[in-house]
Structure 1
Amino acid sequence: MPVVRLSAATLDRLPANVAVPRYDRDAVRRGVVHLGIGAFHRAHQAAIFEAALASGDLRWGVTGVSLRSAGVRDQMAPQDGLYTLLVRDGEGERTQVIGAVREVLVAPEDPAAVVAALASPDTHLVTLTITEKGYKLDRAGGGLLRDDPDVAHDLASLEAPRTAAGFLVPGLAARRAAGLAPFTALSCDNLPDNGALLRDAVLAMAQAHDPALAEWIAAEGAFPATMVDRIVPATTDADVAVLAARLGVQDRAMVKTEPFLQWVVENRFCGPRPDLAAFGVQLTDAVAPWEDAKLRLLNGAHSAIAYLGGLAGDTYVHEFVGRPEGRALVEALWEEAAETLDPPAGLDVPAYRRALMARFANPALQHRTRQIAMDGSQKLPQRLIAPMAERRARGLPVEALALAVAAWMRWQAGVTDLGEHFTIDDPIAARLAEAGGVDDYLALLGADLDRRARGTIAEHFAALERGSARAAIERLIGVRA
């Protein structure tokens, strides 16, 4: 029997407790272009734009763009862009069909279509979730990673762009030529000062092709800093099968997430926007304090859990924090990281920590440590190295942070404490494989740490190589006690 897919034609088959779009999807204008339409966007920003559409403001449909593969397009196109957002916690789940995504473009197949979408008079916002590595930034020297083949290609010609900055520049050039205002571009990735980094990348690309265009973008454009937070585990085939049995139709584009959603945005736009505050978005003049708290508490703990838990054989985050020593390790790391924060007035750090632990302990999420462990070389500088450097500048110890960094180094061997082999998923995996020890690894992270910090990492790394992650955790907790 043929599989019946979720689509506009099958919405009326869904159970009554499934929320579905009630607005006229045919009347929706495509006001948002999103680069990097993976699961996170579909569970986070798209849910906000869905709320805007449901409120009656039909200007905020999303044109999704995949910069690499056709996978998401092939999942969503047969479903008329519809997908299910499954929100789970320990008490139950809520099921909603999202209709905000009106089309998905695959950039390598038709780069001109992506530029046309960016240049459209209806487009006012461009959002990005392309992961830290997608910005092609030179961590050591600053600016674009000019020896990257895709960056070099776009610096030479924007006829068929390959990078995010490479697409934004001709889109902005077409708007300028047509007498349109630029769009507001919002990076939604875990990079400190992400708005400024995106702006610098775009201006560098524009300067290489048209200095006058770069001046116009600098004067008229807007690149607000943002902070996003929602845990979005990878969808499995089992998830798809279970949902199909519930709904009576198959949804290959479904995403699962937690109830918590946070989006903090610098209040600096250069054109129309939805009433973001009405849908729970925090508009602020200073994103950095929120960003630091999230990176160093949530993301830093996630990385520690990924590598220490992954080495110990934990498949899921909730397994790690479900053991007393795992929970104690996270609390120890938080004690160190929290002392480096300058929290905004609206953030109660102890309450935030309690809420984070409850989120980590949510067994319904099934958040895999291997998923978090990806691309560690791009994540650790802001999550773990930055708070280490700040603590050492004040003469403070860095035991828990150093253990997390050492666990990442031990992870590069590609084998768990249980003898299970795995493949390192990192954009510089080949260089990591050639590293000869702690100093080599820190150089690849661009880490400028003092002798005390390096020595502490080296001690933990040696202990992990001699013994196990669990033994190292127990030793640390014993030392702290």
Structure 2
Amino acid sequence: MNTQSKLRLNEQNLHQLPSTISVPNYDRKNVQAGIVHVGVGGFHRSHEAYYTDEYMNQTGDLNWGICGVGLRDADRKMKSILEQQDYLYTLIVKHPNGTIENQVIGCMTDFLLGCDEPNAVIQKMADASTKIVSLTITEGGYNFNPATNEFDFDNPDVIHDLANPHTPRLVFGFLTAALKLRMERGLAPFTVQSCDNIQHNGDVARKMLLAYSQKVDLELAKWIEQEVPFPNAMVDRITPVTTSADIDYLSSELSLQDEWPVTCEPFHQWIIEDKFSVGRPQWQKVGAQFVPDVTPYENMKIRLLNAGHSVLGILGSIHGFETIDESVKDPTFSQFLQLFMDTEVTPILPPVDGIDLDDYKQTLLQRFANPNIKDHLTRICSESASKLATFLIPTINDNLQNKGNIECATLVLAAWCYYSDKQTNRHNKEITIIDVMSQDLHIAAAKYSLNPDAFLQLTSIFGDLNKNQDFLDIYRKQTKQIYSDANIKKHMQCIVDNATLAVS
């Protein structure tokens, strides 16, 4: 078809779309925004927004629409596109067998940009209709020092926010200002719901907000401490960055013009502690699970899936792979990941009610191998400083304490030093590195020839690992091997072979 015959995704055209595209069965004019969500990226749109849209489709309860919020100028493009599309977008679900499901998500009602209109964001959060403020702000958005787990008051944006409480830049300034208004108006607080891949994400959000608010208003901080719920949650759905191919697919196959669809796998999981101040959607009706304590589930997911992503990402990047499915389809990489999960993670995981860990690990390998989810290693390795400090290094520390195995995880850190230093793969092809700490990482890693342990002196990431002799012995041996020969696959195979010999 020619361009003129293609339908733009918007409210007017919604019910003219092909029958192969699912659309909301509810009247979007009647949707009320009960949720304000900060950080409208691909994952939010494939996860929380998906659950909410499914809930509305199934129940007709339209009181839980989502008002999106972006805090940075980088969010301007998302705001512009969603506005043009009446806040509609297509979720493209790709199954391993090649089946594709297309669903238009309709639960978003608005998008506010904090850097342009901070007061509008604060007022929206403070409005009585807002019951939940949810977050996908990435690990770095919580503004804590990974080594101390304390709020970073040296951040220039924090200094600005404390001096300018009505025009904040960071999420904690917005939350504090909105909660202050609610307290002054005699309104119950909203629930702060983290949807980020951080262990005890609700507890982390609470600790950081209390630290910040105590600098602003002690009475308010006490009210927040006593009244505001911060449910911990475990979230899961592999959602790669949207590509031009995704946009072209909708255009060529379905004659639909959607400027920013989302691609994801069919698997999704959301486990939430049931702690909410003024109600919540009954997400359990569409697959979410509410539990008293999310700890075992998030431990399992963070230590296996998220760490597994980093294992494949760092090592695969040096080898020259571009996507996760490429990495895991290589027998050496899949065996290495299986060894890491079986011998370094599983022994330190507490029991997980209702979960067979062997089944869960096999499901992970199958999900990673989905050939239709081209999850690029550039995305997987983005912000590795935050990710490895959260997902991988705690496993090393636990195993050091318990005299467990650390060979696989340590190889990832040794490889990360080489990766940060050379910024190329073994074929000398440049690696794109996206990390707020990329310069610090490069400077520290580049000192390797003068000091093999220089990389580990970034204590905000590594903590006291540079003082542990058992770890240092393995790390030094592995970095020496990698710098001598960047054939990372050879070093991985050696670890796998040695483990096999030890068992036999």
State the TM-score bracket (shorter-chain normalisation).
over 0.9
1:477 matched to 2:496? The reply is: yes
Runs of 4+ in 1 over 3 A off after TM superposition: 1-4, 437-440
Aligned match of 1:460:
478
2:55 corresponds in structure 1 to 52
- CA deviation digits over 1:163-203, x for unaligned, max 9? 11111011111111221100011111111211111111111
CA contact (8 A) 1:33 1:62 kept: yes
Q: Give CA-to-partner distance per residue, 1:351-394, whole Å, 9 cap, x none.
A: 10011011011001011111100101101122111111111111
Contact preservation (8 Å) 2:317, 2:431: no
1:82 has 2:96 as partner: no
CA distance in 2, matches of 1:422, 1:317: 15
Q: How do residues 168-187 of structure 1 correspond to structure 2 at under 5 angstroms?
A: 168-187=175-194
User: Structure 2: how far apart are the matches of 1:300 and 1:158?
Assistant: 37
The reply on whether 1:159 has 2:166 as its aligned counterpart is yes
User: Which one-letter code corresponds to 2:411 in the other structure?
Assistant: L
- Picking from 368, 384, 388, the partner of 2:396 is 388
SS of the residue corresponding to residue 21 of structure 2 reads: coil
CA distance in 1, matches of 2:354, 2:415: 33
After superposition, the C-alpha distances for 1:303-352 in whole angstroms (9 at most, x for unaligned) are: 01001111111111111111111110110110111111003211210010
What does residue 65 of structure 2 align with? 61
Distance 2:176 2:303 in 1: 32
Equivalent residues in 2 for 1:28-427, closer than 5 Å:
28-54=31-57, 55-68=59-72, 69=74, 70-91=76-97, 92-335=99-342, 336-412=344-420, 413-427=422-436
Between the aligned partners of 1:155 and 1:405, the Cα distance in structure 2 is 36
1:277 and 1:284 mapped to 2: Cα distance? 11
Residues 189-231 of structure 1: per-residue CA shift (max 9 Å, x gap)? 1112111111111112221111111111111110111110100
Q: Deviations over 1:251-279 (max 9, x none)?
A: 11200001111111112111110112112
Is residue 2:16 matched to residue 1:10? no
Distance 1:443 1:71 in 2: 38
TM-score (norm 2): 0.93
Q: Is the 8 A contact 1:385 1:447 kept in 2?
A: no
Q: 1:249 offset after TM fit, Å?
A: 2.1
The letter of the residue matching 1:90 is P
Deviations, residues 22-61 of structure 1 (Å, cap 9, x unaligned): 1111111100000000000000000111122212111110
Alignment partners' CA distance in 1, 2:309 and 2:472: 22
- Partner SS state of residue 86, structure 1: strand
Distance 2:180 2:14 in 1: 40
% same residue:
35
In the TM superposition, residue 143 of structure 1 has moved relative to its aligned partner by: 2.6
Give RMSD over aligned pairs: 1.4
Structure 1: distance between partners of 2:112 and 2:378: 28
Contact 2:172 2:209 in 1 (8 A): yes
> Structure 1 residues 113, 85: closer, same or farther in 2, change over 3 A?
same
Distance in structure 2 (CA, Å) of the matches to 1:318 and 1:446: 29
* SS of equivalent to 1:87: strand
CA contact (8 A) 1:265 1:287 kept: yes
Deviation at 1:156, TM superposition (A): 2.2
Q: Tell which deviates more after alignment, 153-162 or 297-306.
A: 153-162
Aligned to 1:434: 443
Q: Does 1:26 align with 2:29?
A: yes
Of stretches 56-65 and 239-248 in structure 1, the one that deviates more from structure 2 is 239-248
Q: Which amino acid aligns with 1:379?
A: K
Partner amino acid, structure 1, of 2:20: N
What amino acid is the match of 2:214? Q
Q: Distance in 2 between matches of 1:184 and 1:389?
A: 33
Following superposition, the deviation at residue 4 of structure 1 comes to: 4.7
Q: CA deviation at 1:451?
A: 1.1
Unaligned runs of 5+ in 1: none
